[in-house]
Amino acid sequence: MPTLPTLAETARALVADGKGILAADETVSTITKRLKARGIESTADSRRAYREMLFSAPDIAGLIGGVILQDETIRQDSSTGIPLVDLLAGRGIIPGIKVDAGVRPLAGSSGEVITEGLDGLRERLEEYRDLGARFAKWRAVFTIRDGQPSEWCIRANANALARYAVLCQEQGLVPIVEPEVLMDGAHALERCEEVTGRVLRGVFDELYVARVSLEGMLLKPNMAISGQDAPRKASAREVAEATLRVLMRHVPPAVPGIVFLSGGQDHVQATENLNAINQLEVQKPWKLTFSYGRALQDEALQAWQGRAENVPAGQQLFHHRAWCDSAAALGRYRG
Ligand code: 13P
């Protein structure tokens, strides 16, 4: 029996130089909205065809270290009858799985949400590991409003993230811990930085209490960025400075990698901000790379249109964006 890599080895492999993660873990309802918005019918087969286009794109294995799948995809076979998980693993791309069950209203708060999915999680992790997953993802969501996120919302979500992370490590999976402060709102960059700091502090407190191995996990945060409706949008350099300042204050250097979400930034902005972060000449004890969903997929999805004849065009656009983001993860993107 070959021995499996350790958690720390898997975490480091996911963020090896110039590599990031493709988040292709949209739930059936989310991917259905994205397909329908482009006039594409959403069926188990069209969703499989779309994901297979991305996973089998030529020459991506040097750019994409891992792919996050969701429950439907991890059980699907490719058009040639190979499980999609094996297609990825065979190319040296590590398969992962989204395991949270989405958000519900948080009792005791007005308008805030809690991520659910802890019930039965040990057994689900066991099953996903047997299906080939080597890492997992759980997303907590925080919205910036007057007086929010509340301390209660931060603590409740941070505690759930810690319970998830420690269960993953018990089951031999690397947890990606994703606390997302949403871009929604008209707040300035400084407010996002402040909230992101409070959230990260709460999350690492709970991870510490739960004795999560920091070496065997990855953090997936938002960048510190202006709100979507802010009258003035901070520049890439300002985003980079604020993001690194808040991460330096709250993320222990034992964490091997920070993999940003794109969170609604368009694909060029997501590339440029990541590049600016890596170009900044300050201390950076972790790898800083991408775990993008929309920013990596949007161009390819647009080109595909649900038609087999467009697969090469979709793959080429996906490869190009992954190549740009890979360069940005090294601070070498040149527009
Ligand atoms: P976006 O990059 O589209 O924000 O998706 C990343 C993700 O995994 C959200 O949970």
Tell the residue number behind the tokens 């087999």, with chain if given: 308
Dig out the tokens for 137 from the structure: 């993802």
Its pTM stands at 0.98
User: CB-based burial of residue 162 (10 Å sphere; 0-12 exposed, 13-18 middle, 19+ buried)?
Assistant: buried
Please give the average per-residue pLDDT across 148-174, as a whole number.
98
Residue in 19, 137, 220, 287 annotated catalytic: 220
When pLDDT is cut at 50, 70 and 90, the band that residue 4 belongs to is confident
Do 95 and 137 meet the contact criterion of CB atoms below 8 Å apart?
Answer: no
Q: What does the pLDDT look like over 8-48, one tens digit per residue?
A: 999 999 999 999 999 999 999 999 999 999 999 999 999 99
Please determine, for residue 3, whether its predicted confidence score (pLDDT) is greater than 90.
no
Please give the average per-residue pLDDT across 99-110, as a whole number.
98
- Within 13 A of 58's CA, how many CA atoms are on the CB side? 4
**Average pLDDT, rounded, for the chain:** 97
Q: What is the interface pTM, i.e. ipTM, of the complex?
A: 0.93
Tell which atom from ligand 1 comes closest to the C-alpha of 178.
Answer: 10
The pLDDT value given to residue 101: 98
E strands, 51-205, in order: 64-69, 94-98, 103-105, 113-115, 135-142, 174-181
Query: CB within 8 A of 233, min separation 6: which ones?
Result: 226
**Closest of 163, 318, 289, 280 to residue 221, by C-alpha:** 289
Ligand 1 binding pocket mutation candidate from 68, 142, 262 (most atoms within 8 A of CB): 262
The pLDDT value given to residue 211: 98
Please determine, for residue 335, whether its predicted confidence score (pLDDT) is greater than 90.
no
The pLDDT value given to residue 323: 98
- Percentage of the residues of the chain whose pLDDT score is greater than 90: 98
Residue 220 appears among annotated catalytic residues: yes
Please determine, for residue 235, whether its predicted confidence score (pLDDT) is greater than 70.
yes
Residue in 178, 193, 206, 241 annotated catalytic: 178
Please give the average per-residue pLDDT across 223-244, as a whole number.
98
Q: What does the pLDDT look like over 269-284, one tens digit per residue?
A: 999 999 999 999 999 9
Ligand 1 binding pocket mutation candidate from 99, 184, 292 (most atoms within 8 A of CB): 292
262 C-alpha vs ligand 1 centroid, how far in Å? 6
Please determine, for residue 1, whether its predicted confidence score (pLDDT) is greater than 70.
no
What is the spatial distance between Cα 335 and Cα 323, in angstroms, rounded to a whole number? 12
